[in-house]
Structure 1
Amino acid sequence: MVKWRIDPDHAAAEFTAHHMMVTIVHGQFNGVSGTVFFDPAEPSHTAARVEVNAAGVYTGVDRRDAHLRSPDFLDVEKHPLMVFETTKVEVVAANNLKMTGDLTIHGFTRPVVFDVEYAGPSKFIDEDKVYTTFGFHATSTINREDFGMVWNLDIENGGFMVSRHIDITINFEADLDEE
């Protein structure tokens, strides 16, 4: 298998959640890194480990970001990383995979399935060095309560302050590791 390193300068983990059942909050995490073992001739043999810096959460609202970093949600002091490691990969169609793996958030590890699209390879030259890269776009939906993030408030018209289900998107470029 060919080893690829996630380029943290071209990587983001993003999420959306419903707030008060009436609007959607968008957020992202800075600090995505990891390794992918990938051969486009044999994509079903792909293996990946993706690490996300939990303290890098950003929604544009300082008070909300601080609450997300707290023990009510991510508890970044105790659990600084969120980690996904593949356990199974299925080819769905050309350039499309169903990637099953263990996702660890807030000290809880649960199986999660990501729908993955990949593109590439692309090659470029910078200062006489040739770089080869693939792009990956992965999406999934999790129940945050499965990961011990159970804080919530009831709202008057029924429902909750924060949705249980969170949509996750991870986008990254992975560069050929020539070491």
Structure 2
Amino acid sequence: MAESPVVFLLVQQVLAPNLKDYMGLLIVIFLCQLFVTFVLLLGRGEILTALVEEVDDIIVAYGTEDANSSTSLWDVLDSVQHYSECCGRTNYTQWENNTFIKLLPDDENVYPCSCFKSSCPHLNNDTAQRFGMGSAVYTEGCEERIEAWFLENSYAILGMDAGLVLIQVTQKQTLVDVQHIRW
């Protein structure tokens, strides 16, 4: 037991500079969290507008061989449409703006396979098998579901942010208490 004060003093001497660095890091993380919180709270409308514009751009470029297109974004849109049982952002007619569909000789009733209520009747000239022809598609758009997803996730992010701030404040107080302990 006699060694405890000696060990504590040695540990305090070695860790004191690191505790200050750690405290500085906690403050930087705290400020970043505050920034994210304010962006989510104050910029919610702008974020939703940007999200809507991005979905519209994805719909236009979906299925094309454009160098700027991204199949991973197409897969995300397919997942949203399939699992949310919706088609397009506003409704299924928005797919008339799609570049691939516009180039087809018979573009009527051509939609992504994720829009179909049951199995997708694939197009013969679509090697990627992303599109099908038929009228058994979801008619409702995905915009409300996307907005609901964003709001749910922004509340989750804000909740995690509040929890992390609470942990950081508690850690800061613990560090201050440790630095003030004198043997």
The reply to whether TM is greater than 0.5 is no
Larger gyration radius, structure 1 or structure 2: 2
Structure with the largest fraction of strand? 1
Per the normalisation by structure 2, the TM-score is: 0.24
Q: Which protein has greater RCO, CA pairs closer than 8 Å, 6+ apart?
A: 1
Per the normalisation by structure 1, the TM-score is: 0.25
Structure with the largest fraction of helix? 2
